């Protein structure tokens, strides 16, 4: 039996003004089993699906239109805004045509992470928090579902 190849892509975004955009999660399943009893609109993330679970220019454009533009418009109505992003192939140049007040500027190709703020501390902090929440929920589950013959009960 082949090992399961679970893959997920997570996109996080923020602004120098302190805006935090709703994270985008791309998975392989249309509706993952872990969300089967949940309303997907209630999730604290936007969930998209694609067979490869990788970002595409179509998915990014949808995310830009659904999340980034409305968030910017809400906080900066009728103001010109510059959005800076890396030069990934999934970031199409046509993003500049979506809104006249939002100017998208791309970093030069092969830019080091030193000038990409999300590559420095933000992603590290997010991964650390997700890991802490995951393990605390796992510990809570193990403690509440512990049986008398559970060999890990004494360890916890």
28-75 pLDDT, tens digit per residue, is 888 888 778 888 888 888 999 998 889 999 999 999 999 999 999 999
Q: Which band of pLDDT confidence, cut at 50, 70 and 90, is reported for residue 147?
A: low
Residue 156 pLDDT exceeds 90: no
pLDDT in tens, 80-114: 999 988 888 899 989 999 999 999 998 887 776 66
Residue 23 pLDDT exceeds 80: yes
102-106 and 81-85 strand pairing: parallel
* DSSP type of residue 119: I
Residue predicted with more confidence, 120 or 135: 135
CA proximity to 68, closest of 123, 10, 9, 14: 14
Query: What are the two backbone dihedrals, phi and then psi, of residue 67, each rounded to the nearest 5 degrees?
Result: -120, -55
């Amino acid at each position: 039996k082949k090992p399961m190849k679970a893959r997920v892509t997570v996109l996080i975004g923020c602004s120098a003004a302190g805006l935090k955009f709703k994270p985008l999660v791309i998975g392989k399943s249309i509706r993952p089993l872990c969300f089967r009893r949940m309303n997907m609109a209630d999730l604290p993330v936007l969930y998209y699906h694609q067979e490869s679970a990788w970002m595409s220019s179509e998915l990014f454009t949808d995310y830009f239109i659904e999340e980034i533009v409305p968030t910017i418009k809400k906080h900066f109505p009728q103001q010109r805004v510059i959005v800076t992003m890396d030069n990934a192939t999934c970031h199409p140049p046509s993003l500049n045509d979506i809104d006249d007040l939002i100017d998208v500027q791309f970093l030069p190709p092969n830019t080091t992470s030193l000038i990409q703020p999300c590559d420095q501390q933000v992603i590290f902090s997010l991964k650390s928090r997700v890991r802490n929440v995951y393990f605390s929920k796992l510990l809570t589950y193990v403690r509440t579902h512990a049986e008398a013959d559970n060999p890990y009960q004494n360890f916890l």
